C-alpha cells in the first residue's frame, strides 16, 4: 500500500514539473479535445470516444492554411481530416477509422475474448490495451505543402461501444411478460446409405395406402362380406345346374331327363 502511494505521489510530481515547462500557445491550441500537457506516455486523464459516436472538434489558431490529422500513438502514420484548406476552427467528426487502424485485434480484447469497451476501461481495465490517438493541426506555409508550426490535442482513446441489453418491462397492470418458449433444434436422423430419398418417399406412400385400406376394412361390418359370399356361391351353383341340364348326353348314357313317349294310338275300325 505504501509503495503504491509513493508511486502515485511521484507521478503527480512529474506531472506538475511537466506542466511548468509546457506553456500553451495562447493563439494556437485545442479546446475539444482539451489541450493538456501531462506526462509523456501517461494516459490517466484520457477521454474515451466510441466508434460510431459524433465528436465536435474545436480549436483556436492564427494559421492561414491548415491540415488536421489523426495520429495513433507510437505509429508514424496519420490520416487527414482536413488537408491544405483555409484555416477553420471547428469540425464535426463521426468517429470512424475508415479501416486505416485496427482496434479490434487481440490487443483490444479481454482475457475472456470480449472486446474492450469504454465501460470496461472506466472500471479499471488496463490502459495499455487501448489504442491511443490524438489530433494535430499543421500550419501549411506554401503551395508545396511545407509544414511550419503545429499543435496537438491531448491523447484520447477510441473504443468499441458496448452492446445494449434490453431489460424486460411490465405492463400497466404491473404484470411481467411471460418468457417466450425457447425453440429447441430438431435433429433429423440421417438416412441409411442403402436407400435413396425417392425410395423413402415410395415407402411412405405405400404405408399410407395400406393404412387407408385397413381403415376401410374395419369400418365395414362382417355381415356385409358374408352376404356377398353367400350370393356369389348361390349364383355359381345356379350357373352350374343350368349348364348340366342343357348339355347333350354322352354316348351310352341316358339323358338326365328322358323324353316322355307318345301315348299309343287306337286301331282303325
Domain shared by 152 and 206, yes or no: no
Last residue of a domain, one of 159, 191, 225: 159
pLDDT of res. 40: 58
pLDDT of res. 67: 96
- Of residues 169, 160, 139, the one with CA closest to residue 151: 139
Domain shared by 122 and 229, yes or no: no
Domain shared by 28 and 123, yes or no: yes
Q: What is the CATH number of the domain that holds 31?
A: 2.60.40
Q: What percent of the chain has pLDDT over 70?
A: 47
Give the torsion sign (CA, 146, 149, 155, 160).
Answer: negative
Domain shared by 208 and 137, yes or no: no
Residue with cell 365395414: 220
pLDDT of res. 259: 56
pLDDT bin (cut points 50, 70, 90) of residue 68 is very high
pLDDT of res. 115: 53
What is the mean predicted confidence (pLDDT) over 72-94?
Answer: 88
- Grid coordinates belonging to 19: 506542466
Evaluate whether residue 218 is within a structural domain: yes
Q: Who has greater pLDDT, 169 or 161?
A: 161
Domain shared by 153 and 212, yes or no: no
Domain shared by 136 and 83, yes or no: yes
Evaluate whether residue 137 is within a structural domain: yes
Q: Between the ranges 17-26, 159-168, 205-214, where is the mean pLDDT highest?
A: 205-214
In b/e form, how buried is each residue of 245-261, taking b as 16+ CB within 10 angstroms? eeeeeeeeeeeeeeeee
Evaluate whether residue 130 is within a structural domain: yes
Average pLDDT, the chain: 69
Q: How many folded domains does the chain comprise?
A: 2
Evaluate whether residue 146 is within a structural domain: yes
Q: Who has greater pLDDT, 145 or 239?
A: 145
Q: Who has greater pLDDT, 220 or 1?
A: 220
User: What's the residue count for the chain?
Assistant: 269
Note whether 66 and 60 are within 8 A (CB).
no
What is the mean predicted confidence (pLDDT) over 147-160?
Answer: 88
Note whether 134 and 155 are within 8 A (CB).
yes
Instruction: Identify the domain containing residue 35 by its residue range.
Output: 24-159
Residue 41, phi-psi category: left (phi > 0), alpha (psi -120 to 50), beta (remainder): left
Q: Which of 13-22, 50-59, 195-204 has the lowest mean pLDDT?
A: 13-22
pLDDT of res. 14: 43
Residue 236 pLDDT > 50, yes or no? yes
Nearest 5°: phi and psi at 204?
A: -65, -40
Domain shared by 150 and 220, yes or no: no
Give the pLDDT confidence of 7-40 residue by residue, as tens digits: 454 444 444 433 433 456 789 999 998 876 555 5
pLDDT of res. 127: 40
Domain shared by 145 and 65, yes or no: yes
Q: Who has greater pLDDT, 97 or 251?
A: 97
- Of residues 116, 79, 83, 121, the one with CA closest to residue 101: 79
Q: Who has greater pLDDT, 124 or 72?
A: 72
Q: What strand order describes the sheet that includes 54-60?
A: 29-32, 54-60, 90-94
Residue 85 pLDDT > 80, yes or no? yes
Evaluate whether residue 217 is within a structural domain: yes
Amino acid at each position: 500500500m505504501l509503495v503504491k502511494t509513493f508511486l502515485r505521489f511521484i507521478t503527480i510530481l512529474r506531472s506538475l514539473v511537466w506542466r511548468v515547462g509546457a506553456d500553451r500557445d495562447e493563439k494556437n491550441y485545442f479546446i475539444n479535445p482539451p489541450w493538456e500537457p501531462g506526462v509523456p506516455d501517461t494516459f490517466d486523464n484520457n477521454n474515451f470516444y466510441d466508434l460510431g459516436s459524433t465528436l465536435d472538434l474545436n480549436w483556436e489558431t492564427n494559421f492561414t492554411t491548415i491540415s488536421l490529422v489523426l495520429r495513433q500513438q507510437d505509429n508514424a502514420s496519420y490520416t487527414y481530416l482536413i488537408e491544405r484548406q483555409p484555416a477553420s476552427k471547428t469540425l464535426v467528426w463521426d468517429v470512424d477509422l475508415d479501416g486505416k487502424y485496427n482496434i479490434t485485434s487481440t490487443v483490444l480484447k479481454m482475457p475472456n475474448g470480449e472486446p474492450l469497451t469504454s465501460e470496461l476501461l472506466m472500471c479499471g481495465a488496463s490502459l495499455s490495451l487501448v489504442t491511443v490517438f490524438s489530433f494535430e493541426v499543421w500550419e501549411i506555409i506554401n503551395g508545396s505543402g511545407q509544414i511550419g508550426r503545429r499543435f496537438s490535442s491531448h491523447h484520447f482513446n477510441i473504443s468499441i461501444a458496448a452492446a445494449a441489453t434490453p431489460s424486460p418491462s411490465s405492463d400497466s397492470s404491473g404484470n411481467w411478460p411471460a418468457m417466450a418458449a425457447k425453440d429447441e433444434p430438431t435433429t433429423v436422423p440421417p438416412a441409411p446409405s442403402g436407400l435413396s430419398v425417392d425410395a423413402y418417399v415410395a415407402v411412405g406412400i405405400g404405408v399410407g395406402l395400406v393404412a387407408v385400406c385397413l381403415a376401410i376394412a374395419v369400418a365395414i361390418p362382417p355381415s356385409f362380406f358374408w352376404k356377398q359370399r353367400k350370393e356369389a356361391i348361390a349364383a355359381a351353383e345356379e350357373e352350374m345346374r343350368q349348364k348340366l341340364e342343357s348339355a347333350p348326353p354322352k354316348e351310352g348314357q341316358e339323358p338326365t331327363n328322358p323324353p316322355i313317349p307318345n301315348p299309343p294310338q287306337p286301331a282303325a275300325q
